[in-house]
Amino acid sequence: MKIVVIGGTGLIGSQLVKSLSKLGHEVIAASPSSGVNSITGEGLAAAFEDADAVVDVSNSPSFEEKAVMEFFTTSEGNIIAAAKAAGIAHVVALSIVGIDRDGANPYFLAKLAQEQLIRESGIPYSLLRATQFFEFVPAIAQSGGAGEEVYLSPALFQPLASADVVAALVNLVTAAPLNDIVEVAGPEKIGLDEIVRKYFSSKKEQRTVVSDSSAGYFGAPVDDQTLVPDQQPILGQYHYDEWISIPGNLR
């Protein structure tokens, strides 16, 4: 298969390109650095020529409400138009668990709008909603404040390693389109506060995590149901304690 990966140089995209290439597929790592810009449309037609599938794992450079909505709707609109013109048979996109729940933050709402464009495009598709990546734990820590005390919600979530997301994407893009949503999550639930405690302990940081039920998740209210899958998800193989002990994973 010829597969185009939009966002092919990022955390997920670079791993996906490598995994698909090892399986013998022709893979295009599409990004502005390679002359493919989904916001302007530059390079999409050439990249999509004779391609069988497109995987969109791109991400917005800004989380600001207007900017993030413009990024995902403009980018996906251009991808869909180019995919239709090229006769692409399968569009796969990476999304997030919980984006359609009450109180979603602006980033989640932008991802939901992206999903809607794909579902309504008429192109066969598969959508993978993932929980938060282990690699994102430092950002969760930072969201709780920069002082000696970090305030985080004890709400449960079900994070996973980016490698497990990549494995799920490989299976989706190399199979027939689902025309549906599938979820992938880690093998265990853990509190947002507790995982940051583990992170600080591994880093030997002296900062204290304060459990605060009123603390949101990047500006949105959160509880034990907000960030966990509500379907029967694909489960990743790595627990956080195991993953964080692997050399090179702790940042």
Rounded to an integer, what distance in angstroms lies between the CA atom of residue 115 and that of residue 112?
A: 5
Residue 43 is assigned to a structural domain of this protein: yes
Residues 2, 28: contact at Cβ < 8 Å?
Answer: yes
Number of domains in the chain: 1
Distances (CA, A) of 9 to 50, 152, 167, 186, 237: 21, 31, 17, 24, 24
Residue 249 is assigned to a structural domain of this protein: no
Could you read off the pLDDT tens digit of each residue along the chain, which spans 251 residues? 999 999 999 999 999 999 999 999 999 999 999 999 999 999 999 999 999 999 999 999 998 999 999 999 999 999 999 999 999 999 999 999 999 988 888 999 999 999 999 999 999 999 999 999 999 999 999 999 988 999 999 999 999 999 999 999 999 999 999 999 999 999 999 999 999 999 999 999 999 999 999 998 987 899 999 999 987 899 999 999 999 999 989 87
Whose CA is closest to 136, among 226, 227, 67, 8? 227
**pLDDT score for 1:** 96
- The alpha helices in the chain, defined as continuous H runs, are 11-22, 44-48, 65-86, 106-119, 137-143, 162-173, 192-203, 240-244
228: its two tokens: 């966990």
Residue 16 is assigned to a structural domain of this protein: yes
Residue 178's CATH number? 3.40.50.720
Residue 251 is assigned to a structural domain of this protein: no
What's the one-letter identity of residue 15? Answer: Q
**pLDDT score for 225:** 92
Residue 250 is assigned to a structural domain of this protein: no
Domain that holds residue 229: 2-244
**pLDDT score for 104:** 83
Residue 125 is assigned to a structural domain of this protein: yes
**pLDDT score for 231:** 74
Residues 3, 28: contact at Cβ < 8 Å?
Answer: yes
Number of H helices, E strands in the chain: 8, 11
Residue 78 is assigned to a structural domain of this protein: yes
**pLDDT score for 176:** 98
Signed CA dihedral, 31, 33, 35, 40: sign only:
positive
